[in-house]
């Protein structure tokens, strides 16, 4: 899956994630007693060691917590506790009984599901690794559930098939990658459409030229880890920040 993330960066997509900022700020806050450069040294070292871009490393709390324990020994519990409390302070909707790694995962998933539900234009492709992730994003996209996973109470638009064999509900349309008709040639025409498209593809069952298919979409969503990528200059509902 890492090669997918590396390809997206090289193809001109950039990660848009406020969740990374929350995690990063929690770790920086915990390291204030030692000085902020200690945080940068830790993260830069882990990025080099595991050959991960910074925005992906910040989703891997397992790697970060192990490194902190190895460096600080018994004293690491002070830093790990501070990180956890900072996360929960920023994310009061999350269950306090969850482990910290799960809190980080749920934070990124919440962000992706909110993005899917809030999207108003363009073409999105979801590169998923399992049925559960695919269904959660679809439910959020068609606004059957909120980002927090609770079922919506208002009446939903009735789903139907259109002439292009897309599943359509209101202004939202879904197709799997096998039947996806998006292409760079059609981009001008599709951008003029009021319809927002979500295409999905299981990356473990790839029988198509996945890279060519990805490039015809404005946004890419992944579930390992949960992340939204957008082309430079494409409007998004997420706050954005440059990542290395």
Task: Give 205: exposed, middle or buried? Use CB within 10 Å, 0-12, 13-18, 19+.
Answer: exposed
Residues 94 and 126 in one domain: no
pTM attached to this predicted model: 0.81
pLDDT in tens, 136-191: 999 899 887 777 767 765 555 566 656 556 677 778 888 866 556 665 545 445 44
Nearest to 200 by CA among 223, 184, 171, 183: 223
The verdict on residue 237 lying in a domain is no
Residues 129 and 226 in one domain: yes
Task: Answer with the one of 92, 109, 126 that is the final residue of a domain.
Answer: 109
Residues 32 and 51 in one domain: yes
pLDDT in tens, 115-147: 999 988 888 999 988 889 999 999 899 887 777
CA angle 37, 41, 46 (to 5 degrees): 150
The verdict on residue 4 lying in a domain is no
Strand 226-231 to 219-223 pairing: antiparallel
Residues 226 and 123 in one domain: yes
Task: Answer with the one of 109, 139, 169 that is the final residue of a domain.
Answer: 109
Task: Answer with the one of 48, 82, 109 that is the final residue of a domain.
Answer: 109
**Domain containing 164: what range?**
118-231
């Amino acid at each position: 899956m890492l090669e997918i993330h590396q390809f997206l960066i090289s193809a001109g997509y950039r990660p848009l994630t406020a969740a990374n900022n929350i995690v990063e700020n929690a770790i920086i806050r915990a390291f204030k007693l030692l000085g902020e450069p200690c945080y940068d040294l830790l993260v830069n070292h882990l990025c080099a060691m595991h050959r991960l871009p910074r925005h992906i490393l910040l989703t891997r709390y397992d790697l970060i917590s192990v490194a902190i324990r190895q460096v600080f020994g018994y004293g690491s519990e002070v830093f790990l506790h501070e990180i956890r409390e900072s996360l929960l302070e920023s994310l009061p909707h999350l269950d306090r009984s969850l482990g910290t790694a799960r809190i980080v995962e749920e934070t990124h998933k919440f962000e992706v599901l909110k993005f899917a539900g809030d999207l108003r234009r363009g073409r999105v492709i979801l590169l998923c690794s399992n049925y559960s992730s695919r269904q959660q994003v679809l439910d959020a996209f068609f606004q059957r559930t909120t980002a927090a996973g609770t079922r919506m109470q208002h009446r939903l638009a009735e789903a139907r098939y259109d002439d292009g064999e897309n599943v359509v509900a209101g202004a939202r349309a879904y197709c799997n990658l096998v039947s996806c008709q998006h292409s760079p040639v059609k981009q001008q025409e599709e951008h003029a459409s009021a319809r927002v498209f979500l295409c999905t593809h299981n990356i473990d069952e790839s029988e198509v030229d996945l890279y060519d298919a990805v490039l015809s979409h404005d946004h890419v969503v992944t579930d390992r880890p949960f992340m939204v990528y957008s082309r430079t200059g494409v409007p998004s509902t997420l706050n954005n920040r440059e990542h290395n």
